[in-house]
Structure 1
Amino acid sequence: MEELHMKSKCLLWGVIIVSISCLAACKKEKPLSPIPDSLASLQELLNPAYQISSDSIHLIIHSYLNENKQATPWDSALVAHYQESDDFFWLNDSLVSDKPAVQVADSMLYWLENISQHGINPRLYPTDSIRKDLQQIRTLQLREGKTMNRLLADVEYQLTAAYLSYVCQLKFGFLPSEDRWNDSICRIPLKNYDKDFATAALDSLRMNANTAFHQIQPSSRLYLKMQEELARVNTWGETDTTDYYRDRLLVNMERARWQYALDKGKKYVVANVAAFMLQAINEETDSILEMRICVGSVKNKTPLLSSRIYYMELNPFWNVPQSIIRKEIIPTYRRDTTYFTRNRMKVYDNKTGLQVDPHSIKWAKYAGKGVPYTVKQDNKTGNSLGRIIFRFPNPHSVYLHDTPSRWAFTRKNRAVSHGCVRLQKALDFSFFLLNKQDSLLEDRIRIAMDIKPVSEEGKKLPISAAYRELKHYSLEKYIPLFIDYQTVYLSADNKLSYCEDIYKYDPSILKAMNDQNLKP
């Protein structure tokens, strides 16, 4: 009898494999008998709990769909798939195969359980529960009143739900949009997952699951470097130093998962406020122009934004903002009446537009309110905007520009401006923006900035009677610009560096990750 029981169990196991294999191809059908007709004499040895029915599995999954609140776009894609299709993603012969290479469910569990390499808590996913269900299916040891249909439905539904959340959040970020930015800073428009993306992710899963798992992994140089660094930091043991670097990495890996809504294209500019560094990147030529920048002080923070550089102006005049007139110029002038003369500034009446003598104005009464005058600094030598400015649409009136204050680039903390971004290599940056190399145009820019031309044609320009100094230039093609904030960054020579959180933006992201139980 014992030998017969063992044979029956083997037969049952074989039929379970056949039945699961059929699920991938079968649509709506009658319940599958776990034993072929030729083995009907062994029917009494089989428990009905082992019978597999596609209809029963679908009914169980549909009960889960009714409980789904569809709080996220991937929930909507999940519900839509199982309401509209009879297909299963995981219920095929690979589910019970003894060959690890084809165990797709186990591959998914591997990625979920190793999400900590992305700085995310593996407990976000019900991997323990799924593994227990798989163990019962594979050992034919049903527990807790489970049936094979219930176990298969649980595995199918939970793996698909976990896959969708994993893919969407790893691709676009784990934090909800409202937790990504400190309330005091501007928000860079970001892409986000939607139902179409989640549906496409399901299509990728259907075509080749293992390829889908690999393709979704972030692959930027910065992200991969941070992953390597996180693995290294995690070997240090628990110390305050370890926590400092780990937390900095977790925050910036999350930032690196966010995707700009504005497409970067192959040629773009990233100004990293926290690092006081700008990188002008040309992927077509595999080149990076890197330079130091000065940014807004803590009181005058440089706003984070995305825009398009479309225009450069040579030797700009500076129309001094009202806030600077009130907070800086008036108090300084009251201590030093030579201020306007020394800084080559002129004052104009807002009503008449006429120039007025600054000494005739009682500045003290305007210190705390609107000033009915415009202050304009002469261009060229000594102008605060330097010899060239790069303009882009934004509501904050901030720009990238040259500066006569070269000393500031030698400082470690370069948060010294009123909000605009000062460039260490403004001339080189202007050349980067050009659509193609143009030696004559480059020399016209040099001449306007009082720099000697280098080409033979360019050397002839200043002595030509027909020559007119270049005052502005509109780019043939705009260049995407991103003014961002990253306290871990990758230099042009591929070295990972940490920098101080000058605006104290990291703690809010770290708190949000803790509140969402994201930290491993």
Structure 2
Amino acid sequence: MLSSKNIVFAVLATAGLFILLTFASCKKKVRSDIGKAFFAKTQNKVFKDITPEGFAIVLKKALTDPNTKLSNPKIIEAYYDSHDYDPVLLTSNLSNDNLRLLVDYLGKANEHGLDPKMFQTEKIKLLLAKFYDKKAIKTTDEAYTDMAQLELSIANSLINYSNALQFGVMNPRRIYANYYTVTKRPDSLSMSRVFELKNLKTFLDSIQPKNPQYLTLQKALVSNVVVPGQTKEETQRTLLVNLERLRWKNKPTEARYAIVNIPDFQLDLMENGKSTLNMKVCVGQGRNGNHTDNLVEYDDSDKIDRPFQRETPQLNSLIYVAEVNPIWNIPQSIANKEIIVEAAKDRYYLSNKNINVYKNGAIVNDPETIKWASISEKERSQYSFKQQPGADNSLGKVKFLFNNKSSVYLHDTPAKDAFKKPMRAVSHGCVRLEKPLDFAHALFGDGEKYNTIAKLMGEDNSKPTSLYLNKKVPVYITYVTCWADAGGTLQFRKDIYGLDIVLYAHLQKFLAPV
């Protein structure tokens, strides 16, 4: 005789089995109704004879066929493998004309500057036309083949279109040598979403960029705007590369942050979408400072990014400290190319510039006795140089530090005349600030720490002092050559590092004809 516990277990097991069988039965029924559903939409009698099992065989073969060109084959194959190789996209979208809608969206990719060909738009359009022509597909084998081709083309195109609009066509980390900004890229989870869409139109509308900057540049592209002094071709290409930059998921998400735009030579402190502090900056010297290279004349070799040694990198980090009256630890490259050269010309150069000299870590008491012009390359590596705080210190009276691989920072400078020039790519790579005390006030606010900074900056030869922020402030160093200002007017800047050219060289095969 069964115990009450065993009876309960048996009832639950029976119920579970019933649910499982019911689910399997429902799934089997849905799968077996595929032929009926396709016939209802196409009115082609051939589809009456198709079965899920027959389609699965053909789809498996298509997935392994080298002629089936898929951008993300592993993700696509993994999905169908775990879903019985069913035509999930055709089944969920053919009956409501969503696939015609998809063709319309893909066909308008040129409004984003992208070539509709990269999304197999014409192939999908032609295959759909066959499906809707009740006499075009004549055999079951042909039906299976066309179904498989259409299913995979839609999957591939949806993923590519979604990736392009939400993440950009290019990965900036792969094309730029000095790029250290956190940039989100599509992953298997985001790409697999396209198979589970409840409403295709809602999804397609949701991935269209809605950033006002993007929409303004997009409108200018479609309207064939031409910038005075540029050809139509150059203007269009500048718009295209900056639209791509806007598609990258590397934008600040914080309410408050500092941002430097290298080609604009400007820093803004942004709070809730508005600039509360703006100043001129000087950035690193670039390879295209005289603007001899442009977006009209280039070749495939321009795909290789060859940064000038002093170019300021693109990055994001967190400002965590202000160092007042800093010591400048002079990089070896600058020491070899500049400091030692000047010391060879003038034996008192180092003392006049308040630079201490160290040999193998020990301070040199009489550096003016060293014959700098005759020391060898090997001997040079034994020396290091530190400029002490003072009026001549190249870092000025304060520097703001943030962690980064390039050892760059924001800092004051005694060379104020550079801020009067329109072209301010003049530094060794760090960013010089026009109004460092204002920046310190914006970061620290009123209070003891800011008062200390202001006091020490006003004194001569004070000792180095570090003041840490209570809350770190994000900083972004970016590279944008075209944007809409607050009034909606397009602003264009020179491509001082040639990064537009590098990006366009990679993008051109994906772009709509201009």
Aligned residues: 457
Task: Give structure 1 stretches of 5+ with no counterpart.
Answer: 1-22, 37-44, 98-102, 452-467
Kept in 2: contact 1:90–1:104 (CA 8 A): no
Q: How does 1:120-199 map to 2 (within 5 A)?
A: 120-142=114-136, 147-175=142-170, 180-181=175-176, 183=177, 185-186=178-179, 188-199=181-192
Query: For residue 391 of structure 1, what is the amino acid of its counterpart?
Result: L
Please, what is the CA RMSD of the aligned residues? Answer: 3.6
The answer for the alignment partner of 1:330 in structure 2 is 340
TM superposition shift of 1:513: 2.0
SS at match of 1:356: coil
Kept in 1: contact 2:167–2:247 (CA 8 A): yes
Residue range with higher mean Cα deviation, 136-145 or 505-514: 136-145
Kept in 2: contact 1:180–1:509 (CA 8 A): yes
Distance 1:207 1:49, change over 3 A: closer
Partners of 1:175 and 1:492 in 2: CA distance: 28
1:450 corresponds to 2:439: no
Kept in 2: contact 1:120–1:518 (CA 8 A): yes
Which of 284, 296, 302 lines up with 1:296 in the alignment?
Answer: 284
The answer for the alignment partner of 1:251 in structure 2 is 241
TM superposition shift of 1:406: 1.8
**Deviation sequence 1:113-167 (CA, Å, 0-9, x none):** 1111221111112222222222233342315868555444443332222111111
Partners of 1:196 and 1:122 in 2: CA distance: 25
1:27 corresponds to 2:27: no
The answer for the alignment partner of 2:362 in structure 1 is 353
Q: How does 1:194-209 map to 2 (within 5 A)?
A: 194-203=187-196, 206-209=197-200
Partners of 2:194 and 2:47 in 1: CA distance: 34
TM superposition shift of 1:470: 9.2
Residue range with higher mean Cα deviation, 485-494 or 408-417: 485-494
TM superposition shift of 1:111: 1.8
The answer for the alignment partner of 2:211 in structure 1 is 220
Query: For residue 197 of structure 1, what is the amino acid of its counterpart?
Result: S
TM superposition shift of 1:93: 8.1
The answer for the alignment partner of 2:374 in structure 1 is 365
TM-score (ref. length: structure 2): 0.77
Partners of 1:419 and 1:68 in 2: CA distance: 48
The answer for the alignment partner of 1:462 in structure 2 is none
Kept in 2: contact 1:347–1:357 (CA 8 A): no
Which of 62, 75, 79 lines up with 1:81 in the alignment?
Answer: 79
The answer for the alignment partner of 1:277 in structure 2 is 266
**Deviation sequence 1:464-518 (CA, Å, 0-9, x none):** xxxx99922222333333323222245466543211111222222222223x443
Q: How does 1:256-271 map to 2 (within 5 A)?
A: 256-260=246-250, 264-271=253-260
TM-score (ref. length: structure 1): 0.76
Query: For residue 196 of structure 1, what is the amino acid of its counterpart?
Result: L
Q: How does 1:1-150 map to 2 (within 5 A)?
A: 26-29=29-32, 32=35, 47-48=45-46, 51-67=49-65, 74-85=72-83, 88-91=87-90, 95-96=94-95, 103-142=97-136, 147-150=142-145
Kept in 1: contact 2:327–2:386 (CA 8 A): yes
1:426 corresponds to 2:414: no
SS at match of 2:405: coil
TM superposition shift of 1:445: 2.6
Task: Give structure 2 stretches of 5+ with no counterpart.
Answer: 1-25, 287-307
Partners of 1:46 and 1:472 in 2: CA distance: 79
Report percent identity of matched pairs: 29
SS at match of 1:233: coil
